[in-house]
Structure 1
Amino acid sequence: MDMEEIIWTKEEQEKLNKMFNQWMYGDHIRAIENFKELNKGVEYGNIVLAGDSITAGYPVNEMFPKGIRVYNRGISAITSTQVLDKINEHILDLKPSKMFLLIGTNDIERGIDNDLTVKNIVDICNKTIKELPNTKIYVISIYPVNENEKFKSSVQSRTNRVIESINQKVEKAVSKIDNVEYLNFYEQLLKDGNMNEEYTYDGLHLNINGYRFVTGLLNKKL
């Protein structure tokens, strides 16, 4: 059966989410514990990237110009709810001057309501502003996927139609928050309606060329 033909019931999706949470629980806990320790030695006033595996795989030390300190606080497979729940470890403890947030693609795969994803992102922004009013926040659009058949196993149930819909809602919501800027990388990573194959190795995650391209975009905000 093709992936696009599978439609999970609410009960099935909840069961799958529970199984996935149990599977990833140990990895997530270890990552958060590592962040807690690493955050004790950070230099305040630098840059933080927060997000999921797309952020976790970002080779920031090799990509960004010398003299710019960037802390990577991405964790594979996490959702917007998990970032919000552990916002201290991901963002607040580092007291950054700038924070870039890229989150939401796993929410889609996990069947999380789109409006809840938007709310979580807004709450992350508002909580950061409340605790760190001088921190500039950049919310990055969820990246497109490549829906070609050869990438189905990685892309799974994600579609650009859904991604674009969430991005539009996020952009509208965060545009109302002071000191928050929305970055539409979705459009810039597209080619012929899909994630540009030059920038991805599996239709979902970036390859080195993709990270170089995104770094060029981010450099304009550093």
Structure 2
Amino acid sequence: MVRLLDDQALERSSVVANCAMNRERGLTGSNGYGRELGIDVVGLITERLARGAEVFRWLDLCCGTGTALLECARLVDDPRLHVTGVDLVDFFAGPPHPRVEFVTTSVGSFTPERCFDLVTCVHGLHYVGDKLDVLARAASWLAADGLLVANLDLAAVVSEQGRPWRRRLAGVLRSAGFDYDARRRRITCTGRRQVRLPFEYLGADDQAGPNYTGQPAVNSYYADTRAGLG
């Protein structure tokens, strides 16, 4: 029988604590944000600012050391750019930059006071318990024309019996306004929206083993709240 962990226990798990997915990840290169997210972050920001945007806010969840965020701020070098990185561990890179803010907290409890033009999460959801709640809340943090991009492995979202809901879940997410690239395991959303997904979070399994990245990850268990589906 699988022992499911609540958020507090999961955050103390060695699988989550030892996660090194974003520790030194930069913006570009074979392991960079551009490759993993499929977007040119600097290009997106500079294009939006060139069109006269008063401000551009980028939120990066599970940012690790935040190396890519600091790199971006140095490259763009525009006072209208504001970058926020959120991570469970206070192990951020330096030197600090006046337009980059780091917040040490769980993404499950993070609640921003403003909307963002770009929200990203590079492989961080692999180590989050309630992945669907984070996605739903992140969609509500977008500006009207904002973009959400994250890596999501549908094989890690399972039923009470431990069975993945790949096809069913992909359909539900698309109906809620998300786009899912199954080959690249990447989820996107354009424009702020309020999302209610028909799943009840039950807990997480930190002993699920390696996922497609080759790194140990976390499976998230849900009950389907729609009548007749389990």
More strand by share: 2
Point out the structure with the larger helix share.
1
Fold similarity call, TM over 0.5: no
Bin of the TM-score, shorter chain as denominator length: 0.3 to 0.5
Taking structure 2 as the reference length, the TM-score comes to 0.38
